[in-house]
Amino acid sequence: MAAAPRTLSGAEVRARCAQGACLVRCRRRLYDLSAFVRLHPGGEQLLRRRAGTDVSAALDGPPHRHSANARRWLEQYYVGELEPADEQVAAPSRKECLDLVDWRKPLLWQVGHLGEKYDEWVHQPVDRPIRLFHSDFVEALSKTAWYVVFLVWTPVVLYLSWVSYTALAQGNTRLFSSFTTEYSIPVHKYYFPFIFLLGMFLWSLIEYLIHRFVFHMKPPASNYYLITLHFLLHGQHHKSPFDSSRLVFPPVPAALVIGFFYGLLRILLPEMLGLSVFVGGLCGYVIYDMMHYYLHYGSPRKGTYLYGLKAYHVKHHFEHQKAGFGISTRFWDYPFRTLIPEETFEKEE
């Protein structure tokens, strides 16, 4: 028989808030969001607003709409009921699809067996770390701290930028030279900044297309291997969106993807022109990964561009998984008509 929920008095709640806890009330149910509130858009502002207030202000957050996934997420932080005892007790939380896998074992080899339940399960986020592999060594390789991306790829961007600029400065790079010498167009070193920005712009499109059509494909329920691949590529991130070790791409698999795009540009463009576009795209990738980490763990000031982008990305995770595919920018969501509707972002009172 399940134990009765713990009951907390207003005095106990005040004491815990005074010690720095962030308690939130939904009807009589109490949730301790101390470990999560700073990751939520507006969390820092909410904490500052609550400082020194009475118990009702400390418990009830600003009124704004939350998705069903957000409400399921909230149940992970349930700590008890608020007095008085004569109020109607809220219904117990639903476990939904949370118990379809054994969290004590690596998930990668389990998810393929979920079949038609996989898509619903993977889009019900939880706040817990994910283990993918049995091998400790392989598991370690699948995790990456955010700064590793910056440390590995920034020197490459700087070096290849210098190589591209100095090569263009020699004046030997010409566009269309493989088709005609009479009408070929010289590519001067002064063009390098614009070519670099073109590469960044192209990366933003590639980022959008990969996110939408690869990461958010719906694998066939009968295909164990495609479900497993989807979970490895992106499903794990939607299942546990605040697993800090899995928010950026590990350098080894990233190098394979980056090498593919470099080879493609070498085929399509003259060597140094292709390298100039490539290094701009590589810089765009580094910015994308850093931005993605910040949107999950940063606390941008309310009203700023980054605050809006963080709220937009949170909506993508918890409510609109089939829209809002832009991460470093919303730009491509406009022409492809995948923009999250503005009316879903209700203003705080």
237 among annotated binding-site residues: yes
Distance of CA 242 to the CA centre of its chain: 8
Which is nearest to 51 in space by CA: 8, 23, 20, 12? 20
296 among annotated binding-site residues: yes
234 among annotated binding-site residues: yes
175, 200, 273, 280 from 195: Cα distances, Å: 13, 9, 8, 7
320 among annotated binding-site residues: no
C-beta contacts of 305-310 below 8 A and 24+ residues apart: 307/41, 307/42, 310/41
Q: Burial letters for 269-284: b for 16+ Cβ neighbours within 10 Å, e otherwise?
A: bbebbbbbbbbbbbbb
188 among annotated binding-site residues: no
113 among annotated binding-site residues: no
230 among annotated binding-site residues: no
Fill in the amino acid letter for 49.
Answer: R
317 among annotated binding-site residues: yes
Tokens 């598991």 — which residue? 139
Q: Where are the beta strands (DSSP E) in the chain?
A: 7-8, 23-26, 29-32, 78-82, 174-175, 185-186
User: What DSSP designation does 233 have?
Assistant: I
Q: Residue 183 has which token pair?
A: 């009408």
The total of other beta-carbon atoms located within 10 Å of residue 77's CB is 18
138, 228, 257, 258 from 250: Cα distances, Å: 12, 18, 11, 12
Distance in angstroms (rounded) separating the CA atoms of residues 174 and 272: 9
Q: Indicate the annotated binding residues.
A: 40, 66, 211, 216, 234, 237-238, 292, 296, 313, 316-317
Q: Indicate the annotated binding residues for heme.
A: 40, 66
Q: Indicate the annotated binding residues for Zn(2+).
A: 211, 216, 234, 237-238, 292, 296, 313, 316-317
